[in-house]
A and B are shown apart, each in its own frame.
Chain A
């Protein structure tokens, strides 16, 4: 067993701490030179455990050059760790130099770091990728002994995680003795995280402390049938805030955060210091809120996932989750933000926004009690990230493809990469990989007679280094208050360009916790002033809503089916379910309940799939096509997290045939190709792979142009080379991401031979929530762009034509059978 040197033992004693078992285990693993994954709850002294062996080694003063690299997904975290790491180093007067390097590090300091590396360097995956692409990366990393990867669970399965895994494989080549240490929160798939850290890594688990206490808080009055903002609970939420010293109120989307913040402040007569925190707010503003939390000068923060990870604040003693919890692991991560003392239970309160969410919250509470972690295992590494990495490797040093293939497949996410995919990606980097000659003279890589691959020239290397990174933001515009006398005022954050395009000067919108009046768009800045009248709009953001996990969906189905579970439910909900059982049936754990009923001259079909909104939207598209083919005259559909509803002219019959698995064939292909989700996915792939460059030397191509041209490229490439490597990468991304096709596949498998069709005479109690969503959903799919444009054109022509008789005298019967017609009813 490794001994803790006296100076460290003394320091622990002075802190009043004892060396924890997992900290000792980490020292032992380091002494054996093993790669290690440490899984520990927040507050378990995880970070110190990760650094301790390096500190001990460095204190002995045997090392020269860079010794330990620490990689974190959060820029701010790297700064924070520097502070926490510096405290023991200073207290023990250890001769250890610690520095950070992120995108914000000034150029002169970067140059200094390369010439004279610190003992410990704290960085992000992007900055590491840049270091790895430098020609002197071999010298810089040659002395490296240890890499600490923090928050591995948040990186594995993401493109940033793919990039990091590839860089780790390279570090192993540059410094074969390097030891990897992964730090992770508790996860559902520890083996996948272990493989990510490195094949054969040892696992050290620190036991969780006391299990958390999770309770339900209901809004006053009847539990709402639909809606997911949970604003009705603003007053009880404020009461909970008053009863605790420091609360985080987690919500699911940035729009919900803005609305909840306003709703709570409406009741906040005592002017309690309550702040707002989400990813679109100005970075300086976010740092101020975090600092105020750390200083204990806030009573509550309304936050999105922007506070899921990160700094250990200590002072948070209560966590509220307003709206659906979505998953047990996610909820535990959020609960873990409170009360970092291991010996006391964390306290959390769930506030459902509607009846289905009551069920989801109850299922989550049961899941937390059973410590049943969930979430999908990490998906295989992205080919676009590989393309970026291969060019980076060539920029650093010439290589042989065989060697690099072996290196790349040693990285967990790329373990199953085929040689063909690898070769195609390399070919893409080399000359685009197009089935048309002509690009030989523009190739970015060339091969010599011995088979070594070189980067073609230094300009390509320079351009590559400017474009490293895997985070592709949606085009956004800065929001700025106009100061007095029209001068430059305070920056508030960023909203998506899409939202700004919908505003006309004078419109009111809610952002950064303020009511703002839109004045004008000046280049890329949205100029606003405080105040304004009329119904405010709330900016929405791409990918704001995540689906409920399969695990939680299973629990909800089981609870629904078994009335014995209902005792804990509020009376409203129990009555609702009893009525459903009486009037129709309850969805079972292993079947698929489908109801059909007439209402208002249409036929509705409601399927209780519980697979999340994204999967339901994809399924809705496919079902609409089938309903059309079967002659039922589909008119539209709407999807929630729980169910999918379609409506049609005729009564859908032969339901099992409608849900046959063969729907995933040509219809899916055809729809995917046209889908805007696929275009968005392609844009990311095109940027990450280097097909489109965000930054050009001497010229900044603006982001609007990138958006346009990626769509055009997509169309052309799809037409002329549908099996191009980037299209393959796009489809792979879409299957697991925005379209959630994997979940539809599982659903249809489960439903096969197990469809329960209830032909009802009227709407069932369980179907009410989704029917209330109709018209509220802005995007109801099922209509093509051509149909939408036609409808808009007709509407304008009708409104603007003075000779046209009023609509009552001239009905427009024709267009009533257009699929998705119902969405037109809501035209503004």
Chain B
């Protein structure tokens, strides 16, 4: 696994191929859109999807915590697929998550799926600011932001497709320009929105670069190269 460094106003962020960002200077690990208990939400509607999604997502998060030893984990919202998700977690998953919150300080940013505090240990906030970074669930158009701010958000579940020599390959991705970073969804069952969708491109009027998630590294392309 090799993370890709990205620099904003002299601050270095590491983008991890698992879909998380790490800020070494402050030892902050950032993940977004875990959508825990999405399978059980589908089950309530009659689709009995394999119930291993929460386990898969938490195992992946646990691996990253062991790898980076962060002082703090920030979850950029939509941690649960819906407000009742916390109650639906099974005992093992709940224990695993609670153990993580004991080891590391968690900051839960509220999202549109989990608009209020979930009651898990840690801080629940709408936004979180540290240094040049402003972390929130959904990116906002530039108006009202200080020009020095760098916004880090999730919400859109960005993905991108590349026409390679043999196949068209579609993967979740980071999307960024000099002032903004959108994280891919971290959850096991989260689909994606193509970065060419106007909902995303309007946030990047001067063009964007994507980093597609890979097994061991990220693959970087400017928007124009995504056909």
Q: Give A residues with C-beta under 8 Å from B.
A: 428, 431-432, 434, 436-439, 442, 444, 459-460, 463, 498, 501-502, 504, 676, 690-693, 696, 705, 708-709, 712-713, 715-717, 719-721, 724, 778-781, 783, 785-786, 788-793, 796-797, 800, 820, 823-824, 826-827
Given the interface contacts A712-B189, A786-B214, does A504 sit within 8 Å of B227 by beta carbon? yes
Given contacts A712-B190, A789-B212, 6 further A-B contacts (CB under 8 A): A436-B52, A436-B55, A705-B191, A713-B189, A785-B167, A792-B163
Contact of A720 among B46, B52, B163, B192 (CB under 8 A): B52
| A461–chain B nearest beta-carbon distance, Å | 10
Contact of B163 among A437, A460, A502, A820 (CB under 8 A): A502
Contacts of A442 in B (CB 8 A): 40, 43-44, 46, 48
Contacts of A693 in B (CB 8 A): 46-47
Which of B19-27, B125-133, B218-226 lies on the face that meets chain A?
B218-226
Contacts of A793 in B (CB 8 A): 219-221
Contact of A783 among B53, B166, B214 (CB under 8 A): B166
Instruction: Confirm or deny: B138 has a beta carbon within 8 angstroms of a beta carbon on chain A.
Output: no
Q: Give B residues with C-beta under 8 Å from A.
A: 40, 43-53, 55-56, 88, 90, 161-169, 171, 188-192, 212, 214-216, 219-222, 225, 227
Residue pair B50, A786 in contact (C-beta under 8 Å) = no
Residue pair A436, B51 in contact (C-beta under 8 Å) = yes
Contacts of A691 in B (CB 8 A): 47-49
> In chain A, what residue has the closest Cβ to B212?
A789
Contacts of A791 in B (CB 8 A): 164-165
> In chain B, what residue has the closest Cβ to A826?
B165
Contact of B167 among A438, A720, A788 (CB under 8 A): A788
Contacts of B50 in A (CB 8 A): 432, 434, 713, 716-717, 720-721, 724
Bound together, the chains give a CA A693 to CA B42 distance in angstroms of 10
Bound together, the chains give a CA A43 to CA B136 distance in angstroms of 71
Given the interface contacts A720-B56, A826-B165, does A789 sit within 8 Å of B48 by beta carbon? no
Contact of A827 among B49, B88, B165, B190 (CB under 8 A): B165
| B41–chain A nearest beta-carbon distance, Å | 10
| B173–chain A nearest beta-carbon distance, Å | 11
> In chain A, what residue has the closest Cβ to B190?
A712
Residue pair B165, A459 in contact (C-beta under 8 Å) = no
Bound together, the chains give a CA A431 to CA B53 distance in angstroms of 16
Given the interface contacts A720-B50, A789-B214, does A708 sit within 8 Å of B192 by beta carbon? yes
How many residue pairs, one in A and one in B, have C-beta atoms under 8 Å apart? 130
Bound together, the chains give a CA A251 to CA B219 distance in angstroms of 41
> In chain A, what residue has the closest Cβ to B50?
A717
Residue pair A437, B43 in contact (C-beta under 8 Å) = no
Given the interface contacts A439-B51, A502-B168, does A432 sit within 8 Å of B227 by beta carbon? no
Contacts of A676 in B (CB 8 A): 167
> In chain A, what residue has the closest Cβ to B170?
A708
Contacts of B44 in A (CB 8 A): 442
Contact of B48 among A432, A459, A501 (CB under 8 A): A432
Contacts of B56 in A (CB 8 A): 716, 719-720
Most buried by B among A432, A721, A797, A820: A432
Contacts of A438 in B (CB 8 A): 40, 51, 88, 90
Residue pair A792, B161 in contact (C-beta under 8 Å) = no
Residue pair A800, B222 in contact (C-beta under 8 Å) = yes
Bound together, the chains give a CA A788 to CA B169 distance in angstroms of 9
Contacts of A692 in B (CB 8 A): 47, 49
Most buried by A among B51, B222, B225: B51
| B105–chain A nearest beta-carbon distance, Å | 29
Contacts of A800 in B (CB 8 A): 222, 225
Bound together, the chains give a CA A800 to CA B45 distance in angstroms of 48
Contacts of A463 in B (CB 8 A): 46
Contacts of A690 in B (CB 8 A): 47
Contacts of B168 in A (CB 8 A): 498, 501-502
| A509–chain B nearest beta-carbon distance, Å | 15
Bound together, the chains give a CA A459 to CA B220 distance in angstroms of 46
> In chain A, what residue has the closest Cβ to B214?
A786
Given the interface contacts A438-B40, A501-B161, does A780 sit within 8 Å of B52 by beta carbon? no
Contact of B189 among A709, A780, A826 (CB under 8 A): A709
Bound together, the chains give a CA A691 to CA B39 distance in angstroms of 11
| A373–chain B nearest beta-carbon distance, Å | 38
Residue pair A502, B227 in contact (C-beta under 8 Å) = yes
Contacts of B51 in A (CB 8 A): 432, 434, 436, 438-439
Contacts of A712 in B (CB 8 A): 188-191
Residue pair A439, B165 in contact (C-beta under 8 Å) = no
| B201–chain A nearest beta-carbon distance, Å | 15
Given the interface contacts A502-B163, A502-B227, A779-B167, does A796 sit within 8 Å of B221 by beta carbon? yes
Bound together, the chains give a CA A780 to CA B48 distance in angstroms of 37
Residue pair B165, A823 in contact (C-beta under 8 Å) = yes
Bound together, the chains give a CA A150 to CA B40 distance in angstroms of 43
Bound together, the chains give a CA A778 to CA B165 distance in angstroms of 8
Bound together, the chains give a CA A129 to CA B100 distance in angstroms of 50
Contacts of B192 in A (CB 8 A): 708
Bound together, the chains give a CA A459 to CA B55 distance in angstroms of 29
Residue pair A716, B53 in contact (C-beta under 8 Å) = yes
Most buried by B among A692, A724, A789, A797: A789
Bound together, the chains give a CA A526 to CA B52 distance in angstroms of 38
Contact of A439 among B48, B169, B225 (CB under 8 A): B48
> In chain B, what residue has the closest Cβ to A822?
B165
